[in-house]
Amino acid sequence: LTITMAMWCFLRTLEPDERHPRLWATLFAVFVGIGFLLKGLIAIVFPAGAAFVYMAVTRQLFSRAVWRRLHPFSGAGIVILIAAPWIILATLRNPPVFDFTFRSMPGQYHGFFWFYFINEHVLRFLNLRYPRDYNTVPRFLFWTLHIVWLSPWSFYFPAAVRLRYTGFDRAGRTRLLALCWAGFVMAFFSFSTTQEYYSLPIYPALALLLGSAMSAKDVWITRGTKAWGTVLLLATAVIAVILWEVRTLPAPGDISAALTQHPDLYTLSLGHLGDLTLSSFAYLRLPLVVAGVAVMTGAIAIARCWPSQRLCFFVMAATMILFFHAARLAMIVFDPYLGSKPLADALGNAPPGKLIEADAYYAFSSVFFYTNRQALLWNGRKDNLEYGSYAPGAAQMFIGDADFEALWRSADRYYLLANHEDLPRIDELAGPSAVHVVAESGGKYLLSNRRP
């Protein structure tokens, strides 16, 4: 939001007939400063980089009059005024104040300044961030998956390419700025580590370009609508075949029993789709039916509304609303596998006791959300939790195998959140007779050292 507002203010500042350019230049700096507080340096780099490219393309980069309208020095002062107090206080509160090392190791703590500026910005960009608890999406997928996320409107990208990107009128300047904006962000991350959500700042720009293309009468708009209608027909056929194949398959328990695991795909937002098997669709009959109705009625409605493209746009939006409802129903089915609400309910109804979690918090984060409980983390000093755990005065919440064994054999009641693959190690340390299952859901367990 702050990047979008900053780009709008930048465009207004440079409008030849703008009567209050200083006001818009000031607002540009205000939104950049707020963005820095929310998302760090990229809130400065992206608007500044997009503006730089735009000014270079429109041959305004060395225009003294343009720089006077932008007021860069007073703007920089506003950004500093907004952001500096928080940075200074956080740095002083978490010494050492300045540390510029490019390397860290277990047990080392370099303060807030190093963590925020060096580690989370410089080293992240260079793919050297510590600890290395992240993967990177292949560049090809980083670029092409936008076709999926922006569907069905991504079918109008060919029409957007045919728009005029010139500085002769306000519409052309807006489109050109949107193109520079999206292009700079994508190019920036193409030279860095990439995740799909890193490109979210370009979506307002792409929406402007797609909306501009859809408002024009272009042959590629009709071709895009026809292509989307064809996709809906194919999707209808695929869903019908799947429903037929699983019509007699049983669906005992929850869906986790029918899924496979492909952790190498989980970097992708849709990575868990790789876990699906044919038998797992037996648990997804209702979502499939709703999705089938959505795509089938969408295809029929597009054919009935043809050739009115505006009515087709409305049909496409309505189709996606119904399809998203099918996705919501599917998420409910997936909840035992992806979430831990049943374990949280079981913990809330169990006798009082202390809580331990196997691993680094994330696998059972919903339990902490629902129960508002704290826990010890067994072998969980890793990933994002590791660096802060070495800070002076950090909570001592991490335990190893010896600590776990001693606590589990003590007189106090303990509960343990663990995955199925952790069970052999738990039995080895605690002994099978000392491990009691309180609840199980989606391949995850709530265990206790005392009988419920």
Q: Where are the domains of the chain?
A: 2-215, 219-334, 341-448
Instruction: Say how far apart CA 195 and CA 200 lie, in whole Å.
Output: 10
> Are the C-beta atoms of residues 319 and 232 closer than 8 Å to each other?
yes
Where do runs of H (alpha helix) occur along 281-340?
Answer: 285-305, 309-338
The vertex-336 CA angle with 332 and 342, nearest 5°, equals 105
Pairwise CA distance, residues 438 & 173, whole Å: 63
| Exposure of 94 in the CB half-sphere (CA atoms within 13 A) | 20
Provide the residue type at 437 as one letter: V
Residue 434: predicted pLDDT: 94
pLDDT at site 74:
96
DSSP state of 157: H
What region does 333 belong to: left with phi over 0, alpha with psi -120 to 50, or beta?
alpha
Which amino acid would we find at residue 120? Answer: E
Q: What is the pLDDT of residue 271?
A: 83
pLDDT (0 to 100) of residue 338: 86
Which pLDDT does position 304 carry in this prediction? 93
pLDDT value, residue 273: 86
Q: Residue 253: how many CB atoms within 10 A of its CB?
A: 13
Residues of the chain short of pLDDT 50, as ranges, are none
Buried b (16+ CB within 10 A) or exposed e, 356-392: bbbbbbebbebbbebbeeebbbbbbbbeebbbebeee
DSSP-derived secondary structure for 151-177: TTGGGGHHHHHTS---SSSHHHHHHHH
Pair type for strands 354-358 and 414-419? parallel
pLDDT of residue 218: 87
List all residues 6 or more positions away from 49 whose beta carbon is below 8 Å from its beta carbon.
184, 185, 188
- Give the pLDDT confidence score for residue 412 in this predicted structure: 95
Please tell me the predicted confidence (pLDDT) of residue 112. Answer: 95
